[in-house]
Structures are given as C-alpha cells and as structure tokens.
Amino acid sequence: MLSKRIIPCLDIKDGRTVKGINFVNIRDAGDPVELASTYAQQGADELVFLDISATNEKRKTFASLVKEIARNINIPFTVGGGINSPADVAPLLEAGADKVSVNSAAVRNPALIDELAKAFGSQCIVAAIDARYVNNQWIVHTHGGKQPTEKELFSWAGECEHRGAGEVLFTSMDHDGTKNGFAVNALAALHGQLTIPVIASGGAGENKHFLDVFTVGKADAALAASIFHFGEVKIPELKKYLSQHHIPVRI
C-alpha cells in the first residue's frame, strides 16, 4: 500500500502565511519561507502553496516567492493561485514548483485542464475543488470560496479526472478551520468514484481526525494549515500516531 501523505498548506496573502475559518476571518500565521523549511525538516511529505488572493486581485502568483521557498525545501511542492493558462505555469515550474493547482480558472474554462495536462503532464496538475454542502448536495465555489457555481462536487471531480488532472484536492468549506474533522463521507464517495489520488482538506483539529480521514474517508493525502502553523499538532508525533494505528506513512 502506498504511504499516506501529510501535507501542510501555506495560504499566502501579501507575502505572508494566513489562515481563516470557513474562508473568512483571516489572520497572520507567519513567514512562508520559514514555515516551509520547518515542515520539510519535520517530515512533511509535500507542501501546498496557495496564493489565496491572486484570483480575486487578478494577478499572478509571485514566482520569486516560489523560488525562495523551493530553495529551502527538499520535498515536492504544489503552487496555486491565479493560474489561467499554460503560460502561467512554466515560470512556476522553473522557479521550483513540482505541481500546480487550478481552481477558479478551470471551473470557468474546463478545457484549461486539458491544455495543462497536455503541456506539462497529468502528474503536474492538481484540480483544487472548494465546495459547500447546500440543499443536500456539494456545490462547487470559486474565487476563494466567494462565488457559488452551478457545478456539483462529484460530477466536476469526475470531469477533472477525465480531462487529465492527476489529483483532486477537495476542501470542504463547511469544515475549513473548524478543527472538528474532515468531510469523511464525501471523501469516501470521491475515493470510490475516482481512480486518481484524493487529497483531503478542511477540518483537521487533532491526530484522530487524520486517522479517520485515511480509514473512513479513504483519502490518499491529508492537508492542514492552522494546526501545523500554530503548533497544535506536530508532524513527527502525528506520523508516529498514525503508524501505531497501522496507517502507512513515511517516517
């Protein structure tokens, strides 16, 4: 069985790492370069770097910051925010990113996933999906969770895989920042539907939530932010706990 991945997420705004609850009430969480270096040393399997204001502010992710972070780590690194075309991706990969994530732009123009997968390979493309549970269905949202769409989580995730995405990163907006656990039932359903890896995001608060997301939720990787940024959960202790509960992790 493949090892389950633990992935700290650095949400970047104005060059700083930030974190909110349910996509609002943003507060500062530290310097992204320092955090990235610390997580790599602690045994994180990958990092995700999301420029959360890039789409709303209609600008590109800062390639210079990507380069600085990449220079300080030795683990795979995914970058997202403001990616609208293959021309936006090349500078990020050249700066040191291993993968890119697309969200709002892919919802607006699904063919973007085809273009990126063809240009850079599916292994480089992560389809990030933010969804909220509304009237008994998971509704996809864009622009940092600000705009609901007509797309539904499971059909859109399936389309992303069909178009060439190599992974799906699903964030439950209802669980984000609450520290009450992941959306394990939705994640398990995604796992059953897709053949590509599913990364869980939104709701991590303690070690057991990661155990639940790997056993009940069937996720391939689990992403978290504030509990790592503020030292509430330490990656080495988390991996030891998971290993003790027979979850395959890289230690």
Helix, strand or coil, per DSSP, at residue 129: strand
Residues 6+ apart with CB under 8 A from 87: none
Residues 6+ apart with CB under 8 A from 82: 51, 54, 55, 58, 59, 60, 61, 88, 105
Q: Does domain 5-244 have CATH number 3.40.50.720?
A: no
Q: What confidence score (pLDDT) does residue 25 get?
A: 46
C-alpha distances (whole Å) from 232 to each of 37, 144, 194, 199, 224 are 18, 25, 32, 21, 11
State pLDDT tens for residues 185-228. Answer: 999 999 999 999 999 999 999 999 999 999 999 999 999 988 99
Taking the chain, what is the end-to-end CA distance rounded to the nearest angstrom? 15
| pLDDT tier, 43 (very low <50, low <70, confident <90, very high otherwise) | very high
Is the distance from CB of 8 to CB of 73 less than 8 angstroms? no
Domain assignments of the chain as residue spans, ordered by start: 5-244
Active site positions, annotated? 11, 130
Q: What confidence score (pLDDT) does residue 23 get?
A: 41
pTM, two decimal places: 0.91
Is the distance from CB of 211 to CB of 221 less than 8 angstroms? no
State pLDDT tens for residues 119-135. Answer: 999 999 999 999 999 99
Is the distance from CB of 221 to CB of 200 less than 8 angstroms? yes
**Tokens at 86, concatenated:** 């293959």
